[in-house]
Amino acid sequence: MRKSKRAFSFALAFSLLVSLAVYAPVAFADSSSSNEAFEYEVNKDGESITITSYRGLGGSVKIPSDIDGKEVTGIGKAAFASCSQIEVLSIPVSVDKIDELAFSGCSKIKEISIPDEVTEIGKMAFANCTSLEIVNFGDKLQKVGDYAFMGCVSLNKLILPDNTENVGQYAFYNCKSLEKLGELPNIKTIGGHAFENTAWINNYKDDYIILGDGVLISYRGKAENLTLQENIKTVGASAFLDNKTVKNIKITKNTKTIQEGAFESSVLETADLSASGVSIADKAFSDCTQLKEVKFSDSTSKIGKNAFKNCVLLKSISLPKSLKTVESNAFNACSSLKNINLGSGVTVIEEKAFENCIALGMIEIPENVSKIEDDAFDNCISLTRLVIKGGPKIGSAFSSCDNLEEAAFYVGTVSIKDDAFKNSKNLTIYANSGSNAEKFADEKHFECKRLSDFEKKSYVYKGMLKVDEEEGFSGGYTFIVILIIVVDCVIAFSVSAYVLLKGPGKKSMRHVKKSESRHSAK
């Protein structure tokens, strides 16, 4: 196990101990199941209550279905935490909510029955119930929270109801005796490490570990070039975390979801996601420091927070037409990223979306973008040219873009925050007369010129717009100009070289011979 996992386990265990110490019960000399042993709070409806604390002696405990004439419908946060003297526990059928840490550390309980009305088991609700062997789940259970049964080392069999769709991260982590799982036919989301260090997963033989409705929770094969099986609908959280084998991944049209951290810190070099409008969750490809190319489908509508953060070799991206929001930190610290096509669908660029993209030289913001949030392009130190085609609300989006020289505003309704261009000392703003951009330039003492001057200066601008749309290229106006100049120079040089190598033409040679004849006659 990696050092980071050991550190995580230690930190989590320490956190749990602290939590349990805070909520540790004080025993009173009353009956273990009498109403006086339970503290509660009245729910918002005024008619039901939630148990908040148990102050009994343990042993065999039956939680009452009502107290003081009010129905018990919930078990509150850490209500029974560290009740290590409870051996038998009965939860009334009236309960529909089991909150986080509710029974954590009840180390002597061997069997639990979850009432049918419970739809969600809270975070760490039964964590470290080390004697727990059997859990009978209610039929309406939809979600098992993060770390819910972590460290239940005696749990050996798990049958979740058909209604269960979500299992949280580390939900059954370190349940070492867990050998058998039910079919889990409707599972759609499985958090990272949910079944890690269980007998079931440790003894699994196939390369693909797939659960429920096509959820890939882990890949153990050795392929460098991998096309996912067609029965995989979801790439589960952390399925390829730290994978050191797969370099090129391709999904099929059946894969619809890539969950949080699915490929995080792997050695991926290319990711072909073009076959499906796959939804990409937070951190899905973060810290893939070898990733050089990613292809999106135009029907992809979500790229989550930190999705490609710190992909330092990624040079060019063309965002899907269906994407509405570039979420915060999505491409943060992609330090080689030079070319960005924001696509025709993006309306919001969230904070720090492209922060620290230090190779980005030029960016065009399409007219459909309505908002650019704070620090969206912060510290893009190579950015020299900015083109705003629409009228977005601009926050402190371009602070620390020290080398920004030109910003062209095509619409006069732009709202610009005072420090939007902080540290851009040599900035010239191009705008229409009377526009907000012109007013902003005057107020902040930036040089301001007519937009027509910008268009005259950028004589390939309109052609470049067409290139951008067709080829997904952005950030290269200057490149095209240089290319044209280079081509002209090459042609001129070639012509000159040809003349020098071939020498004077026939007419010129005849003229030379005649001249020599005259000199001879004299």
- Three-state SS string over 22-42 comes to HHCCCCCCCCCCCHHHEEEEE
515 versus 187: the higher-pLDDT residue is 187
Residue 128 lies in a domain: yes
Verify that 492 and 387 share a domain, yes or no: no
The answer to the question of residue 147 being in a domain is: yes
429 vs 212, residue with greater confidence: 429
Buried b (16+ CB within 10 A) or exposed e, 218-242: bbeeeeeebebeeebbbbbbbbbbe
**What is the pLDDT confidence band of residue 25, given thresholds at 50, 70 and 90?**
very low
For residue range 110-158, what is the model confidence (pLDDT) as tens digits? 999 999 999 999 999 999 999 999 999 999 999 999 999 999 999 999 9
Confirm whether 422 is domain-assigned.
yes
Last residue of a domain, one of 163, 183, 203: 183
**pLDDT tens digits, one per residue of 166-188:** 999 999 999 999 998 887 888 88
Quick check: 1 pLDDT over 50? no
Query: Does 499 lie in the same domain as 363?
Result: no
Least confident interval from 96-110, 182-196, 380-394, 440-454: 182-196
pLDDT single digits (tens) 345-379: 999 999 999 999 999 999 999 999 999 999 999 99
Q: Which residues span the domain enclosing 491?
A: 483-513
Structure tokens at 335: 């330090």
Total number of domains constituting the chain: 3
Shared-domain flag, residues 58 and 161? yes
Determine the pLDDT at residue 212: 86
Residue given tokens 């929270």 in the structure block? 145
Does residue 188 form part of some domain? no
Would you say residue 207 lies in a domain? no
**φ, ψ for residue 482 (rounded to 5)?**
-60, -40
Confidence of residue 455 (pLDDT cuts 50, 70, 90): confident
- Structure letter (DSSP) for residue 347: -
Over residues 246-284, the pLDDT tens digits come to 999 999 999 999 999 999 999 999 999 999 999 999 999
Name the pLDDT band for 447 (thresholds 50, 70, 90). Answer: very high
Residue 275 is assigned to a structural domain of this protein? no
pLDDT of 191 over the 60 cut:
yes
Confidence of residue 3 (pLDDT cuts 50, 70, 90): very low
CATH number, domain with residue 83:
3.80.10.10
Residues 363, 494 within the same domain? no
Same domain (yes/no): 361, 487: no
The answer to whether 133 and 154 are in contact (CB under 8 A) is yes
Average pLDDT over every residue of 27-53? 80
Answer yes or no: is pLDDT of 193 > 80: yes
495 and 439 housed in the same domain: no
Same domain, 65 and 174: yes
Closest CA to 291 of 314, 273, 274, 310: 314
Same domain membership, residue 496 and residue 379: no
Mean pLDDT estimate for the chain: 85
Residues 41 and 130 in one domain: yes
Which of 183, 201, 219 is where one domain is finished?
Answer: 183
519 occurs within a structural domain: no
Question: Quick check: 522 pLDDT over 90?
Answer: no
Q: Is the pTM of this model over 0.85?
A: no
- pLDDT of 21 reads 42
Q: Are both 138 and 80 inside the same structural domain?
A: yes
Q: What is the average pLDDT across 404-429? A: 92
pLDDT of residue 414: 82
What is the pLDDT at residue 18?
39
Q: What is the pLDDT of residues 62-80, one digit of tens each?
A: 999 999 999 999 999 999 9
Q: Are residues 362 and 459 in the same domain?
A: yes
Q: In the listed set 131, 153, 183, which residue is the last one of a domain according to the structure?
A: 183
Domain identity same for 136 and 29: yes
